[in-house]
Structure 1
Amino acid sequence: MSAEQRLADRRERLMTAAYTLYAKPGFAATTIERLCSEARISNRAFYECFGGREELLQALHDRCVEESLAHVAKALQEAPHSLEGKVEAGIRSYIEFATADWRRARIMHLEVRRSGDVLTASRQRAVDAFARLIEEASAEFPVSGPVNRRLVALGAIGALQELLIEWILGSPSPDVDELVDVAAHIFRRALTGW
């Protein structure tokens, strides 16, 4: 392998190790030494790939967000051409994608909060990207009264995050279909009053 290929391989091994370790036991409990041991690389090689644990967490979070955005955008394109169809498809797509892998759900909805200021900017970019997606998907449909679509999108995102935290931490965890129904209801009520 070339030097670039070796670097890319190490970087990917670290991302894979962090995907599991940052999800559990969590970002705060995961040391660089543990990441390197899991990825089977030296500590020196770690710093050739990332400036620190925080930079690795940001790269991992950004990847999860990009994959989620692509998944939801595809679902919205294929959804029935109605507000209800778009709401149902977008929310179902996001919840099913997030819950398909518990590590993704934990990183995007639990560790993002537990990491303190580490992911503040990354989290805000993600929320903004999802809010724009929601605004665009609902823009051509009439709503009842003077509704600020951006604020509705932000509220829906907040509700969705809390529902997914309940799925992660709840005992027992709520059913995915129930999460979809509740989130869709909240979003529909906010936009249309029904």
Structure 2
Amino acid sequence: MAGTGAVARRTYGGLSAHERRAERRERLLRAGLELFGSEGYAASSIEKLCTEAGVSTRNFYEEFNSREDLLIALHDRIIEQAFQAVRTALEDADHTPLRERCTRAVRAFITTTASDPRWARLTYVEIIGVSNAVERHRIAWRERWAEFLVSEAARAVHRGEAGARPFDLSAVALIGAVNELVHHWSLSGGKRSLDDVIEEIVRIATAAVTAP
């Protein structure tokens, strides 16, 4: 006779309860990317998200407290991927010139966040100004990126490629330039290529580090 442990491990459709929940969460994340990235956050109700994901409203609240939580989870996913892509791009570039390191880093970031128009809209448009909670999340990421950029500028100083000075404001300015340029590109209808955007950001980054 099967015990309670066997009952707890029962599967449906070949999936355990844990796997079914993970699969529902992933469907909601895909639905959020599709709707937030195409129709916009404000136009994407929980009901629409659930319909897109093929789950119930109850299922939604089992995974997320609100639409804000879903937006934050999506933003975390793409920005964490971008952060790791930049770190990986720089791993083998330690002895390359500053411009080459900037190019590798910028290309890794941009191609991760903007290769899919839905990710670009979510990352550069929909995440801004949603609520105090989302703004705190976005600013926390900005501070993390700024700290990383300042550390890279300090490495350039150590190599003799730049003069020592505070780089904190330059880091925040560069982040703003990236956001605005990619947003501008996303609205340009193909008038400029993503390579053009990357090249311009590299110019700005290199100048910011090497300016006296």
Matched, 1:163 2:184: no
Provide the secondary structure at the position in 2 that maps to 1:84. Answer: helix
Alignment partner of 1:107 out of 119, 122, 146? 122
Structure 2 residue identity aligned to 1:44:
R
Match of residue 137, structure 2, among 111, 122, 144 = 122
Cα deviation, residue 164, structure 1: 0.6
Moved more, 26-35 or 82-91: 82-91
Percent identity of the aligned residues? 34
Q: Distance in 2 between matches of 1:152 and 1:80?
A: 22
Query: Among residues 36, 44, 47, which one is paired with 1:33 in the alignment?
Result: 47
- TM-score scaled by length of structure 2: 0.84
Q: Would you say 1:183 and 2:201 are equivalent positions?
A: yes
Q: Distance in 1 between matches of 2:111 and 2:77?
A: 17
Q: Residue 192 in 1 paired to residue 207 in 2?
A: no
Larger RCO, structures 1/2 (Cα 8 Å, 6+ apart)? 1
CA deviations on 1:13-37 (whole Å, 9 max, x unpaired) are 1001101101110100001111111
CA distance in 2, matches of 1:167, 1:98: 13
Question: Cα distance 1:146–1:137, how it changes in 2: closer, same or farther (>3 A)?
Answer: closer
Distance in 2, matches of 1:139 and 1:118, equals 32
User: Residue 99 of structure 1: CA displacement?
Assistant: 2.0
Deviates more, 1:30-39 or 1:164-173: 164-173
Matching of residue 147 in structure 1 with residue 188 in structure 2: no
Matched, 1:60 2:74: yes
Structural RMSD (CA): 1.8
Q: Which runs of 4+ in 1 moved over 6 A?
A: none
TM-score (norm 1): 0.92
Gaps of 5+ in 1: none
Structure 2 gaps of 5+ residues are 1-14
Are 1:98 and 2:125 an aligned pair? no
Compute the displacement of 1:118 (Å): 4.5
Q: In structure 2, do the counterparts of structure 1 residues 173 and 61 end up closer, same or farther at CA, with 3 Å as the change threshold?
A: farther
Higher normalized helix content (fraction of residues):
1
**Aligned-partner residue type, residue 96 of structure 1:** T
Whole-Å separation in 2 of the counterparts to 1:90 and 1:150:
18
- The answer as to whether partners of 1:62 and 1:122 remain within 8 angstroms in 2 is no
SS in 2 for 1:41: coil
Between the aligned partners of 1:114 and 1:170, the Cα distance in structure 2 is 23
Q: Which has the larger radius of gyration?
A: 2
Q: What CA distance in whole angstroms lies between the structure 2 residues aligned with 1:117 and 1:26? A: 18
Q: How far has the Cα of 1:55 moved from its partner?
A: 0.8
CA positional deviation for 1:173? 4.3
